[in-house]
Amino acid sequence: MATRTKAKAKPKPTPTDIASAGLTVQQQKWFASVRDGLVRDTGKTLAQWAEIARKCPETRTGARVKWLKEKHGLGVNRAAAVLDSAFGGENMGWDDPKALVAALWKDPAHLKIHDALVDAISKLDGAIVGERQTFTGFSRKFQFAAARPAKEGVRLGLAVDPKSSKRLQPRKPNEGWSDRNKAVTVLTSVKDIDADLKKLLKAAYEAS
């Protein structure tokens, strides 16, 4: 009589795997809403904006985002969608989050903080993780937080009043994420993602 072999249980994905599994249905809907909003609010399609972006004299992504904001009034999320459409063949796009994480979060200590943030924020209903070339964004209807590696640790931007906590400071003008994230705290270890920080994350999430 043949013996049945037990099927191996699938390993539980790590936070990085969750963030890097490709676009979820929710993310696809959100990116579609960004594209639809461009037409509604500017009268131009994504393809038309991509043509405009290709005329940008800048070559770096951050500088192109700044150019689209200053010259054409596009916010970070819309500028990212336009640049992905215009230069997707040259740059890592939103549909390759694993490559974006690997390129940005090279420091193992920073990556642990990134993964812990993704894990904490993924517990908020409807929260969306969006990997970018220069930061990891967290959104609901709007971006409510963003993180990027820096020399001093991981800079976490939050869409809350900087005066709402002693651990917060006003954002720098060149953070690169949404202007809604007016407050910043620096995380130097996973332990910094404590109950107090989770309350701030939830407050930013609920306001977005």
> In this predicted model, what pLDDT tens digit does every residue of 51-63 receive, in sequence order?
999 999 998 888 8
Q: What is the pLDDT of residue 27?
A: 62
Question: What residues pair up with 139 in beta bridges, in sequence order?
Answer: 128, 143
What band does 204 get if pLDDT is binned at 50, 70 and 90? very high
What is the pLDDT of the chain when averaged over all its residues? 83
Q: What is the pLDDT of residue 195?
A: 96
pLDDT (average), residues 67-73: 93
Residue written as token pair 């906590």 = 165
Distance in angstroms (rounded) separating the CA atoms of residues 96 and 176: 20
CATH number of 97-206: 3.90.1150
Task: Return the amino acid letter for 164.
Answer: S
pTM, entire model: 0.67
How many whole angstroms from its chain centre is CA 93?
Answer: 12
Q: Is the pLDDT of residue 13 over 50?
A: no
pLDDT (average), residues 95-123: 91
Distance in angstroms (rounded) separating the CA atoms of residues 26 and 170: 31
User: What is the layout of strands, in order, in the sheet containing 136-139?
Assistant: 128-131, 136-139, 143-150, 153-158, 183-187, 169-170
Distance in angstroms (rounded) separating the CA atoms of residues 202 and 196: 10
pLDDT tens digits, one per residue of 155-200:
999 999 999 999 999 999 888 888 889 999 999 999 999 999 999 9
Exposed, middle or buried: residue 12 (CB in 10 Å: 0-12, 13-18, 19+)? Answer: exposed
What band does 6 get if pLDDT is binned at 50, 70 and 90? very low
**Percent residues over pLDDT 90 in the chain:** 49
Within 8 A by CB and 6+ apart from 54, the residues are 86, 87
Question: What residues pair up with 149 in beta bridges, in sequence order?
Answer: 154
Q: What is the pLDDT of residue 90?
A: 55
| β-pairing verdict for 143-150 and 128-131 | unpaired
Q: Is the pLDDT of residue 12 over 70?
A: no
Distance in angstroms (rounded) separating the CA atoms of residues 58 and 10: 46
Q: Give the start-to-end residue ranges of the domains of the chain.
A: 23-87, 97-206
- Of 117, 113, 202, 114, the closest CA to residue 160 belongs to 202
Q: Is the pLDDT of residue 74 over 60?
A: yes
